Amino acid sequence: MVFDPFVCWGDSNTKLTIIHALNNYGSLSAKKVHNHLKKEFGISATYQAVHKALKKMHECKIVDFVNNEYRINEVWVRRMRVFADELEKNPKTISEMFSVLEGGKAVNFTARNESEMGYFVLDFATHYSMSGGKGPVFMNLFYVWTILPLNDEQFQNLKKLIKKHKIYVVSREGMVYDKIMKRHWEDAGGKVSIGVRECVSNCEVVVLGDYIMSIYWDTKKLERDILNNESYKDESSINYNQIYEMITESTKIDFVIIKNKEVAEKIRQKTLSYFK
């Protein structure tokens, strides 16, 4: 079983590393899970903390508990796999978009859920990088995007992108949720600043070179997401089934993409100012 959900950004989160261990070794008792986390992944959590995390994951139906052993819930795995390749269904290819942008025209694109939004940005950035694009990626967001489950190819592309270009992530919100996701982005090599209220107004903005993505959320969807994120008081309170429902909920997230060297440079300089 090849599966890498929520694990690809490092092993600092106990629940994420548990998924990684169960994916590698199949069914395990709580004691064996704890041993793997300690010896193989360097997680210093106590047995009690690991057992508590396993019980929470069982309640959320991420893992099953059969014959005193835990294993990944196959239904959860299938649901993750379903949306992992959603972007492929969209008829407008990334290369076509770049051709339109090079012709001086704007590109409009609508993502059908948050997962598709994230995959599109990654695919766009990967194409930009492979086409000779230079310089860091700048992301001005409402809140720090969750670490999406990526397939092997997407994860490798993301690692190459961060290593080659660097990523600066700024969020308007500074919730506990943002602090947790901030750590994951930083583990991956990104630079993150949270709680910067002025970084966005009516849309999120991503800049790659001279390309500018303006991302317009459905306001009601955005409000629901922020309310969900506010409910997470610490890492142990994160409900991964709730996150799954949140990022796969049907919605409309509209992209407007242009190429403008002067405007892109102004956004880059403003974004960098949040890190001084």
User: Looking at the chain, which runs of residues are DSSP E strands?
Assistant: 63-66, 69-72, 107-111, 137-141, 167-171, 191-193, 204-208, 211-216, 253-259
Judge if 197 and 221 occupy the same domain.
yes
Q: For residue 9, name the pLDDT band (cuts at 50, 70, 90).
A: very low
> What does R_g of the chain's alpha carbons equal in angstroms?
19
Helix, strand, or coil (residue 185): helix
Who wins on pLDDT, 154 or 187?
187
Residue 6 lies in a domain: no
pLDDT value of residue 152 = 60
Question: Would you say residue 116 has pLDDT above 90?
Answer: no
Model pTM above 0.75: no
Residue 109 lies in a domain: yes
Question: Would you say residue 80 has pLDDT above 80?
Answer: no
Bridge partners, 28 (sequence order): 70
Can you give the residue range of the structural domain that contains 36? 14-82
Judge if 72 and 106 occupy the same domain.
no
Q: How much is the average pLDDT of 237-252?
A: 84
Question: Would you say residue 125 has pLDDT above 50?
Answer: yes
Question: Would you say residue 7 has pLDDT above 60?
Answer: no
Judge if 140 and 57 occupy the same domain.
no
Q: For residue 133, name the pLDDT band (cuts at 50, 70, 90).
A: very high
Indicate which CATH number applies to the domain containing 49.
1.10.10.10
Q: Are strands 204-208 and 137-141 parallel, antiparallel or unpaired?
A: antiparallel
Q: Which of 82, 115, 136 is the last residue before a domain boundary?
A: 82
Residue 1 lies in a domain: no
pLDDT, tens digit, 9 for 90 and up, residues 262-275: 999 999 999 999 99
3-state DSSP percent of the chain in helix, strand and coil, to 5: 50, 15, 30
pLDDT value of residue 158 = 76
Q: Each residue of 123-150: b (16+ CB within 10 Å) or e? A: bbbbbbbeeebeebbbbbbbbbbbbbbb
pLDDT, tens digit, 9 for 90 and up, residues 152-181: 667 677 778 888 999 999 999 999 999 988
Judge if 20 and 153 occupy the same domain.
no
11, 39 Cβ separation under 8 angstroms: no
Judge if 91 and 72 occupy the same domain.
no
Judge if 42 and 168 occupy the same domain.
no
Report the chain's terminal Cα–Cα distance, integer Å.
44
Question: Would you say residue 91 has pLDDT above 60?
Answer: no
pLDDT, tens digit, 9 for 90 and up, residues 203-214: 999 999 999 999
Residue 159 lies in a domain: yes
Judge if 226 and 106 occupy the same domain.
yes
Judge if 197 and 239 occupy the same domain.
yes
Judge if 120 and 229 occupy the same domain.
yes
Residue 3 lies in a domain: no
Written as one letter, the residue type at 262 is E
Q: For residue 238, name the pLDDT band (cuts at 50, 70, 90).
A: confident
Residue 108 lies in a domain: yes
pLDDT, tens digit, 9 for 90 and up, residues 36-78: 888 887 777 889 988 988 888 888 778 899 999 999 888 777 6
Q: Which of 66, 82, 98 is the last residue before a domain boundary?
A: 82
pLDDT value of residue 269 = 95
Q: Which of 82, 113, 140 is the last residue before a domain boundary?
A: 82
Residue 8 lies in a domain: no
Structural domain count of the chain: 2
pLDDT value of residue 148 = 55
Question: Would you say residue 215 has pLDDT above 50?
Answer: yes
Indicate which CATH number applies to the domain containing 156.
3.30.870.10
Quote the DSSP letter at residue 154: H
Judge if 91 and 165 occupy the same domain.
yes
Residue 226 lies in a domain: yes
Q: Is the dihedral of CA 200, 202, 203, 205 positive or negative?
A: negative
Judge if 73 and 135 occupy the same domain.
no
Judge if 255 and 120 occupy the same domain.
yes
